[in-house]
Structure 1
Amino acid sequence: MADGEEDFSALPLPDRFVHKNWKVRKEGYEAAAKEFDLAASESDPVVRQFIQDAGIWKGVVGDSNVAAQQEGLKALCSFLQIAGAAGSTRTRNHTVATIAEKGLPSTRPAAKQSALEALMLYIETDKPDPVIEELLPILSHKQPKVIAATLDALTQIYHAYGCKTIEPKPVLKALPKVYGHADKNVRAKAQELTVEFYRWLKDAMKPLFWGDLKPVQQTDLDKLFEKVKDEPPPKQERLLRSQQAAKEAAAAAPGADDEEEGDEEEEAIDLEPEYEAVDVLPKIPKDYTERLASSKWKDRKDVLDEVHKILSVPKIAEGPFDELLRGFAKSMKDANIAVVITAANCVELLAKGLKKSFGKYRSTIMAPMMERLKEKKATVTDAIGAALDAVFASTSFQDCLEEIVEFLKHKNPQVKLQSTLFLVRCLKTTREAPSPPEVKTIAEASTKLLTESQEVQRSAGAEVLGTLWKIMGDRPMNAHLDGLDDIRKAKIKEFHDSAEVKAKYKPKAAAPPKPAPTAAPAGKRPVGKRPALGAKKPTPAPAAAAPPPPPVEEPAAPLAPKPTSRPGVSKLAGPKSRLGGLKKPGSGIAAPPAAGASPRRPVVSPPPEEVAPPPAAPKLGLGRGLAGRPLGKPQAEPATLAPAVQVPSGLGLVERAELEELRAEVERLRRQNEEMRSERTKLTSQVHELQNQNAQLIEDHTRDVLSIKAKETQLVRARSDFEAAEQTVQNQRREVDRLKRELSRQVRATSPPPTDLSDQIYADTNGGGRLGDSGYGGQGIYNKRERLASGPTSPISEGANSAQSSMSSRGGGRISPAESNSMGTRIGGTQATAGAESWKRAAEVTQNLKQRIEMMKAKQGLGRQQQ
């Protein structure tokens, strides 16, 4: 075995890498790692050998022996450290998938750590995208432990390099499939990866995968997000080789390095480019405008709901959406808040789908939406606020600022408050710092809000100033905050400390243009003095200046006034000396030196200038002071003289006259612009007032129409109630008639039968023996027999006969035929009408019969007394 081992160590490293004995392979991996650590560069023969034979690394990282695999992964890490981009690009196609399948799930912590480090080095030495592409298919592996290990590796990779260096979209789109895995460890690792994404992306990542998750999973993730929501933004821990080189190159210029870092921090992570644009215009209903003009709010809302469904796509293709936006703007004035909310949601979807292409429609929809912020219901203001945020995201801060500031002066407190809050959101989300004039406009409008009567409005104004302070810094804002009291400053400071902004003002960018204004004043001075000086001394100027330079600088002077001042500065020494010599002849003392060939000497020598002041004082004026004072002013005159030499006097005068005319024209245009702006503001306010009046009239008209419809409804109900009551009355009448007929039948059925009357008459006849004696009884029996013999008769005739027989038997004599007929007729008529009308008539007839019976009894008593 010893001899064999010696022979194995003598084998070349590639042969030992593929040896069938795992110990040989393990020792080969260790030896190779040492060789790679000692190599000077990727051009070393040992390194070059393994770069060319890249396929050998697949067996190394996937060694069947775990001990050998551990050493093989270490050897790969050492190789990638020295091989650089060449070794990474040649070997990653062979190793990354194998590392994920066999290295990351290893039971040995050292092997697992080496596998993760190898993936990190593949990303560091070249690009991260190919490595991520190799790892994504592993998420569909059949073994759950492989998927869980890969997810854990992705979490570590994104934690180290960040989502700004590695594109997160491919992994985000694969998350829903992982969340549907049956293994709980896989789902747990997916949650860890999602939380890591949330640290970098916040809620911007949700549109890519959130809708594909179950509600329970969303709830669990929201709980995990709350734990890391308040953490500071993460920073990249490991740099790519390219980033390291850039950082080293920028080490000599720390200022530029800071700027680059600031720009890198400000860069946003775009998660949208993967969406395909959808052409939604053909899907818009053809009768969109007609249905939107319907008098029924339900029809208007239905058509907006249809449009909302059509616009619910991540990205929308460009097209003519003017008619659609005009409909949305009209819907902002709708009396029904459901229509307003739906229209605002449509605007939000369209702005998010079109992105920057929506900017041309901003002027159509922004003002109507901000005007409708007067609604006090939170559902309306929230929907419009979200739509305004989407509109602002598609435009720039400069485009929206003027309109926002106008609404900060609105007479409606609710509109003013919501516009202020919208301005705060704009300042927090904009990536372009406002310019100093814009800062002044915002600060003035916000300072006025600090004096409002409502505390919420004052707080909103303070928040605007605090957020603006965070963006601009201390120096630009000191001028706007100096006049405020300590209480307001403290409130603004609170908002400044808590504000989170994405833009940062850089004063260095504004510094270069400053030299330009300094050259302008130097050019303005000669306007009044240059012609006189040029007329007096045309000859000394060419003598002082060299002949070659003026022709070169002459063409530059008429094209750009600013460069002409720069050559004049370089030649100030010559004109100064000439003016020093020219001034002395004026005083009458130093004329000979002025005519000399070297005019520079008299300016430097102080004694002649001390002698010159006494005679020159009365000529130059008493207000000049010492001799040093006039020397300062001629120094400005030479600067005027130099341009006179370089540019012909006639051409320079014409140019300056044109320049003054242009300046006057510019000033006049500015005044006209200000007047037009004020007029536009007045017209805008009038339009807003008319819109408010129109909206009020529409609301009144709607209210009147609704009241009229309510009255009509009440009238229809009253008519229906009347018809029902009339029908009920008719039914009651028919029921009464029916009851009357039934009552008459019952009366007839309950009348006494004929036998009752005959029995009564028979009993009366038998009871009165005296009547029989007197001859009346026989007559009564005769009548009874005659009645019985006559057969059945009607109840009426029976009643009449019974009454007649009773009266004849009790009255003691026979009743006359007329009396009997009349009585029978009366009884018959009474009984006939009793059943038809009521029982009252029957009682009256009975009472009359009783009275007649009493009269008959009285007659019988008188007859007996007489006998």
Structure 2
Amino acid sequence: MADGEQDFSSLPLQDRFAHKNWKVRKEGYEDAKAQFEKTPDESDPVFAPFLQDPSLWKGAVADSNVAAQIEGLGAYCSFLKFGGVQACARTRGYTVGPIAEKGLPCARPAGKASAQEALLLCVELDKADPVLEELLPTLSHKVPKVVAGALAALTAIYHNYGCKIVDPKPTLKVLPKVFGHADKNVRAEAQNLTVELYRWLREAIKPLFWADLKPVQQGDLEKLFEGVKQEPPAKQERYTRAQQDAMATASAAPGGGDGADEEAGEEFVEEEAEVDVFDLAEPIDVFPKIPKDLHDQLASSKWKDRKEALDALYNVINVPRIKDGPYDEIMRALAKCMKDANVAVVAVAANCVDVLARGMRNGFVKYRSVIMVPMLERLKEKKQTVADALGQALDGVFSSTDLSDCLEDILEYLKHKNPQVKQETLKFLIRCLRSTRVVPAKPEIKSIADAGTKLLTESTEVVRSGGAEVLGTLMKILGERAMNPYLDGLDEIRKTKIKEYFETAEVKAKERPKPIAPPPKAAAPAARKTVPGKKPAMGLKKPAPAAPPAEGHPAKPATRGIPSKLGGISKPGSGLAPPGAGLKLQRKLGGPGGLASPQRRAAPPPAEDDAPPPAAPKFGLGRGLAGRPIAKPSAPEAAPAPAPAPAGMTAAERAKMEELRMEKERFARIIEDMKSDRSKINSQITELQNQNAQLIEDHTRDVLSIKAKETQLVRARSDAEAAEANVQKQQREIERLKRELSRALRASALSPTTAGSDAGSMGMPDVNPTYQEPASNGHDAAARSGLHMGSRFESSRPRSYASANHSEDGENGGLESPGFSSREGGLGRRKLSPTYGLSGIASPTRSSARASATATDDEAQPRSAEPAENWKRAAEVTSQLKARIEQMKARQGLSRPTGTQR
């Protein structure tokens, strides 16, 4: 066997990797690992066979023998570690799948650890996407331990690199499927992976898969999340090769140390930020799902209909990410809802604006001017729930735009006369300063500082505290030194309060003015000593005998290299840095002598742009541009500066750099012009949109007014027609009553005369109504009193009514009974005595005659004009009256000879 082993060891590594004897393969893996560890760099020839035939590693990481497999995984890890990016890119397509199927489920802990380490190295050397593409299909494997091993590997990858390096979306999509696995170990690993993702994403993971879980699983995860919430934010524990190179370059640069470490740490600030759900979700087109009758419902006069319409809209648009669409009409309707009288409608409308702004992000920028001003105006609402909803909606609008877009409206409403609007706008500005990731420009800083200083003099304590908090938060963004000019003139009490807010403020914007207070300046004095030596070279009119070689050197580097008071760094756009000021530039370029990138040169903070000009007289520089040479610089014959100068840069490179800087300045001016044009156009668009909305509102109001007037006109016409018909009816009734009155008067005018003449012819006495009867005759007295009362009542009634009643009594035979009670005459009960039997008849007749005569006199109607038929009727009435009188006499036994009287 010893001879056989000697023969096997002499074989090439690739032959031993493919040998049928597991011991030979195991020894080959061990030898390969040892050789990889001894290589000086990635270009060593030992890597060549494995790069040319990457399939050799497929059998090594999935060896059928467990002992050989462990050694094969170890050899592959060494190959990746020392072979570099190329080793990973060439082999991962052959190895990730077998590692997931055979390496991760390995029964031995050493094998499982080597398999996970191999996957982590693949992510570290290049990127994580190819590893996920090979690893995620393993989650559908039919063997439970393979699925559990893949989930554990994913947990390790996310734990070490975080969700900024490894995209969590593909993993979140398959999580619900593994939660429904039958094996408890798989479900446990799925829980571990979900908790690890929650460490990075927090609540952002829920909208993507939470609804697909069972309530029991949701409850278990919530309990696990509670423990994670108490932990500090997750940080990346393992860096990729690109990140490691950047950190190594920063630390190895001249002047490194604490400052370099600080800059290297800034490179990974974004990795620690919480991942937003917007970046994980896919855009959803919600526009077709919006109710068609939304605008009709919002125009309803009932607040419940308006609120129900907004609730339906909210349910449709409440998604993590909204696809851009034509939402102009909806935004105008929501802006109109901000003026609604019902606070519930306003709150729901604000919630709709919030989800639209957070779901559309950059697509919402064009609607900001339509909705922001109405919301700021509605901040006058004192109900806290409405104020909170409006504040949240304003935060959503700000998250989709930036501070520059919103600042003008915010500063305008900070001057509002309503204290409630001023306070809520102030709170909104503070939230904007805390959440903005871009440092405001100098004009914006001045506007904010002036507004905050003015608020310090307000009468309300809440507003004064808010102004101090604004200035303190702004100081946190800019730095104490940059804020000093804006705090001049304030008393110590106010400054103390502002510094208290400065110490407690939390902002997301980078502190660009940080280089204002750099570490000890060792190179600055040396640079200042060398600059005066170059003074004669700055102007060609004054040759300097002290430094003749400098005359051939172009004066532009010296002129452009004016050291500033802020640490020897030249102003942006002013040419090359002076001697002694290039250390930081070299550190950023990755080494000495590298070219300066225009993007990197744009990094100096705004405070450096304001470097005080008095530095110029110290070095004897010329005024303005007089000291600059006209000719282009030529190649320098000798280095005019000591060692700290960037000696590796040639004249062509310097000229190219100058051209780039001039081009950058020109681009900056163009950008500023474009920004000003854009702001003007935006203001014009906003004004036109406001005018359009006002015209639409006026038109709607006019249409409603016209409709109301038309309704009133129709009602007035119908009332007029009804009144006209009523008048005609009343006129017909009056005519009829006049005719009836005329007939009654004519009939009553004939009856007393005829009755009197007939009574005289019959020998009956003419009864006087005032005749006094003896007191002994009680019945007759009662009859007379009743007769007089009836006469008075008869005379007090209307003429037509009295006449009509008499004629009716005559026709109906009302005088037949001695105890007859007249319906209208009021004669009461009466008896006809034998002596005065006709008194009960004569009196009403005479009274009727008098009433008729009076009516006749009043009416002044001529008797001669009466028609003949009235006479006939009067004659008939008279004859009937005679007959009835005769009948009454016969029944009472009062018939006696004519002319006999008592």
Give the structure-1-normalised TM-score: 0.56
- CA deviations on 1:143-177 (whole Å, 9 max, x unpaired) are 33333332222222222222222222222333333
Q: Paired residue for 2:506? A: 500
Distance 2:196 2:424 in 1: 35
Alpha-carbon offset, residue 295 of structure 1? 0.7
What is the match of residue 252 of structure 1? 253
- Give the secondary structure class of the aligned counterpart of 1:122: helix
Q: Which residue of 2 aligns with 1:311?
A: 317
**Partner of 2:266 in structure 1?**
262
Distance change in 2, residues 1:219/1:283 (3 Å): closer
In structure 2, what is the equivalent of residue 368 of structure 1?
374
The aligned residue for residue 203 of structure 1 is 203
Deviation of 1:494 after TM superposition, in Å, equals 4.8
Matched-pair contact (CA < 8 Å) for 1:42–1:48? no
CA distance in 1, matches of 2:46, 2:169: 39
Q: Give the deviation of 1:77 after TM superposition.
A: 0.8
| Alignment map for 1:400-411 (pairs within 5 Å) | 400-411=406-417
For residue 343 of structure 1, the aligned residue among 336, 343, 349 is: 349
Q: Judge conservation of contact 1:266–1:431 (CA < 8 Å) in 2.
A: no
TM-superposition CA deviations, 1:561-585 (whole Å, max 9, x none)? xx9xx99xxxxxxxxxxxxxxxxxx
**Change over 3 Å in CA distance of 1:490–1:108 after alignment to 2:** farther
- Confirm whether residue 424 of structure 1 aligns to residue 425 of structure 2: no
- Residue of structure 2 equivalent to 1:84: 84
In structure 1, which of residues 373, 378, 385 is the aligned counterpart of residue 391 of structure 2?
A: 385
Which of 314, 331, 342 is 2:337 aligned to? 331
1:414 to 2:420 alignment: yes
Cα 1:247/1:424, change in 2 over 3 Å: same
Report the Cα offset of residue 639 of structure 1. Answer: 5.3
Bigger share in helix: 1
Q: Go from structure 1 to structure 2 and tell me whether the alpha carbon gap of 1:151 and 1:360 turns closer, same or farther (over 3 Å shift).
A: same
- Contact 1:51–1:83 at 8 Å: present in 2 too? no
What is the distance in 1 between the residues matched to 2:206 and 2:334? 28
Alignment pair present for 1:469 and 2:508: no
1:155 and 2:155 are equivalent in the alignment = yes
Of 353-362 and 456-465, deviating more is 456-465
The one-letter code matched in structure 1 to 2:400 is S
Task: Say yes or no: does 1:129 pair with 2:150.
Answer: no
State the distance in 2 between where 1:233 and 1:402 align.
Answer: 35
Per the TM alignment, residue 462 of structure 1 is displaced from its structure 2 partner at its CA by 4.1
Judged with a 3 Å threshold, the aligned counterparts in structure 2 of structure 1 residues 437 and 102 are, in CA distance, closer, same or farther, namely same
Is the contact made by 1:17 and 1:29 (CA closer than 8 Å) also made in structure 2? yes
Q: Tell me whether 1:115 sits opposite 2:115 in the alignment.
A: yes
1:759-779 CA-to-partner distances (Å, cap 9, x unmatched) read: xxxxxxxxxxxxxxxxxxxxx
Asked if 2 retains the 8 angstrom alpha-carbon contact of 1:429 and 1:502, the reply is yes
Work out the CA distance in 2 between the residues paired with 1:499 and 1:234.
Answer: 22
Partner of residue 595, structure 1: none
Aligned residue for 2:51?
51
Check 1:639–1:91 CA distance in 2 against 1; reply closer, same or farther (3 A cut): closer
**Partner SS state of residue 501, structure 1:** coil
Note the alpha carbon deviations across 1:362-411, whole angstroms, 9 max, x for none.
Answer: 11111111222233334322322222111111111011112112223333
User: C-alpha distance in 2, partners of 1:223/1:458?
Assistant: 43
Q: Give the letter aligned to residue 212 of structure 1.
A: D
Query: Aligned partners of 1:332 and 1:265: how far apart in 2?
Result: 39
Q: d(CA) in 2 for partners of 1:2 and 1:645?
A: 84
Change over 3 Å in CA distance of 1:22–1:390 after alignment to 2: same
Q: Is the 8 A contact 1:169 1:271 kept in 2?
A: no
The Cα of 1:107 is off from its aligned counterpart by 3.0
Please give the alpha-carbon distance, in whole angstroms, between the structure 1 residues aligned to 2:325 and 2:21.
69
* Alignment CA distance shift 1:129-1:219 (3 Å): same
Structure 1 residues 792-803: aligned runs within 5 Å: none
Alignment of 1:436-515 (within 5 A): 436-450=442-456, 457-481=463-487, 492-507=498-513
Partner of 1:719: none
> What RMSD in Å do the two structures reach over aligned CA positions?
4.5
Report Cα offsets for 1:416-470 as digits up to 9, x if no partner: 3322222222122211012333233323433454566666555544443333222
Does structure 1 retain, via aligned residues, the 8 Å contact 2:479–2:513? no
Q: Distance in 1 between matches of 2:629 and 2:244?
A: 56
Structure 2, unpaired ranges of 5+: 518-538, 544-551, 557-570, 576-616, 631-675, 698-902
Question: Whole-Å Cα distance in 1 between the matches of residues 9 and 261 of structure 2?
Answer: 51
Count of residues in correspondence between the two structures: 551
Residues 82 and 401 (structure 1), Cα distance of their counterparts in 2 relative to 1, 3 Å cut: same
2:410–2:429 CA contact under 8 A, matched in 1:
yes
Cα deviations across residues 454-498 of structure 1 (Å, max 9, x unaligned)? 665555444433332222222123344566666655654454344
Residue in 1 that maps onto 2:4:
4
Structure 2 CA distance for aligned equivalents of residues 316 and 87 of structure 1: 42
- Per the alignment, residue 364 of structure 2 pairs with 358
Provide the residue aligned with 1:69 in structure 2: 69
1:102 alignment partner in structure 2: 102
In 2, the alpha carbon distance for the partners of 1:218 and 1:323 equals 39
Rounded to whole Å, the distance in 1 between the matches of 2:453 and 2:366 is 31
1: CA distance, partners of 2:215 / 2:470: 38
Q: Note closer, same or farther for the CA distance 1:380–1:177 as it changes in structure 2 (3 Å cut).
A: farther
Give distance in 2, aligned partners of 1:485 and 1:174. 61
Q: Does 1:33 align with 2:37?
A: no
Matches within 5 A, 1:690-839: none
Determine the C-alpha separation between the residues in 2 that align with 1:82 and 1:246: 19
Distance 1:219 1:384 in 2: 32
Cα 1:28–1:642 shift into 2, 3 Å: closer
Contact between 1:97 and 1:135, CA under 8 Å: does it hold in 2? Answer: yes
Write the letter of the residue equivalent to 1:252. Answer: A
Task: Check the 8 A contact 1:178/1:186 in 2, yes or no.
Answer: yes
State how far apart, in whole Å, the 2-side matches of 1:148 and 1:353 are. 35
Write the distance in 2 (CA, Å) between the matches of 1:200 and 1:246. 24
2:756 corresponds in structure 1 to none
Q: Which amino acid aligns with 2:173?
A: K
SS at 1:443's partner residue? helix
Distance (whole Å) between structure 1 residues aligned to residue 291 and residue 516 of structure 2: 51
| SS of the residue 1:374 aligns to | coil
- Indicate conservation of the 8 Å contact 2:191/2:221, yes or no: yes
Secondary structure, aligned partner of 2:100:
helix
Cα 1:248–1:325 shift into 2, 3 Å: same
Amino acid at match of 1:405: L
| Aligned partner letter, 1:435 | A
In 2, the alpha carbon distance for the partners of 1:433 and 1:410 equals: 26
In the alignment, residue 401 of structure 1 is paired with which amino acid?
Answer: L
Aligned residue number for residue 587 of structure 2 = none
Q: Distance in 2 between matches of 1:92 and 1:436?
A: 51
Three-state SS of the structure 2 residue aligned to 1:164 is helix
Q: What is the CA deviation profile of residues 195-233 of structure 1, one whole-angstrom value per residue up to 9, with x for unaligned ones?
A: 333333333444333343444444444444444445444
In 2: Cα distance, 1:359 partner to 1:185 partner: 48
Secondary structure, counterpart of 2:165 in structure 1: coil
State the distance in 1 between where 2:435 and 2:370 align: 22
Q: Is the 1:266–1:503 Cα contact (8 Å) retained in structure 2?
A: no
Paired position in structure 1 for 2:181:
181
- Between the aligned partners of 1:478 and 1:385, the Cα distance in structure 2 is 31
Structure 1 residues 41 and 199: CA distance shift in structure 2, 3 A: same
Q: How does 1:654-693 map to 2 (within 5 A)?
A: none
Q: Distance in 1 between matches of 2:387 and 2:311?
A: 19
Q: Does 1:192 align with 2:192?
A: yes
- Whichever residue aligns with residue 246 of structure 2, its letter is A
Give the match for residue 871 of structure 2: none
**Which is worse superposed, 176-185 or 431-440?**
176-185
Quick check: 2:479–2:514 contact (8 Å CA) kept in 1? no
Deviation at 1:238, TM superposition (A): 2.5
Larger displacement relative to structure 2 (445-454 or 60-69)? 445-454
**Is 346-355 or 2-11 further displaced after alignment?**
2-11
